[in-house]
Amino acid sequence: MPDALIFDGYSPHDHKPLGAYAAFTVAFEALVVAYVVAERKRGSRLAERLPLGDFALLALATQKLSRNLSKARVTSFLRAPFTRYVGEAGPSEVSEEPRGTGLRRATGELLVCPYCLGQWVAAALVGGYLHNPAVTRRLASMFALHSAADFLHLGYVVLEEKT
């Protein structure tokens, strides 16, 4: 059944690709379930919680990686089929808007939103951490360091502007 029939009236003046959103939600949940099932079949015990240090490391890495994927100028080629360039944004970042309709538009909306993309990045990092903590920590450390350096760069700019 087309989106228009199922979701008619939800947003009559600004069409939202709700069917595509639903497809992304189902895909995300299916991937999480498939991962858990595969790990259980391998005989892996899934950790009940992350140690605080690993939580902080993965949180910083998630922030930086999702921001790089959704806003960085150098990753715009990944988003280009689904977005339209609007202008420059923060340091080394661009502003883009989703384009197209249906799944293409929903993909564009996902790709320009670091908050939305963060869920996918976090799930991938946690999956990697549960499968191979040492490798995931090394990879996450690179992005966490990059994130911390960004905050230091921004702090430096603020201090420089005050003097």
Give the confidence band of 95 by pLDDT, cuts at 50, 70, 90: very high
Share of the chain above pLDDT 70, in %: 97
Domain definitions of the chain by residue range: 50-162
At residue 97, what are phi and psi to the nearest 5 degrees?
A: -125, 150
**Which residues neighbour 101 within 8 Å (Cβ) at sequence distance 6 or greater?**
15, 17
Contact 74, 156 (CB under 8 A): no
Q: How far is CA 103 from CA 31, 108, 110, in A?
A: 18, 8, 10
Tell me: pLDDT of 69 over 90: yes
For 98, phi then psi, to 5°, come to: -65, 155
The confidence band for 4, taking pLDDT boundaries of 50, 70 and 90, is: low
Name the residue among 19, 7, 25, 14 with its Cα closest to residue 102.
19
pTM of the model: 0.84
Token code pair at residue 21: 């959103």
> For 102-158, how does the pLDDT look when each residue is reduced to its tens digit (9 = 90+)?
999 999 999 999 999 999 999 999 999 988 999 999 999 999 999 999 999 989 999
Cβ within 8 Å of residue 92, ≥6 positions away: 72, 73, 74
pLDDT over 70 at 18, yes or no? yes
99 vs 130: CA distance, rounded Å: 36
State yes or no: pLDDT of 3 exceeds 70.
no
Count of alpha carbons within 13 Å of 93, Cβ hemisphere only?
A: 16
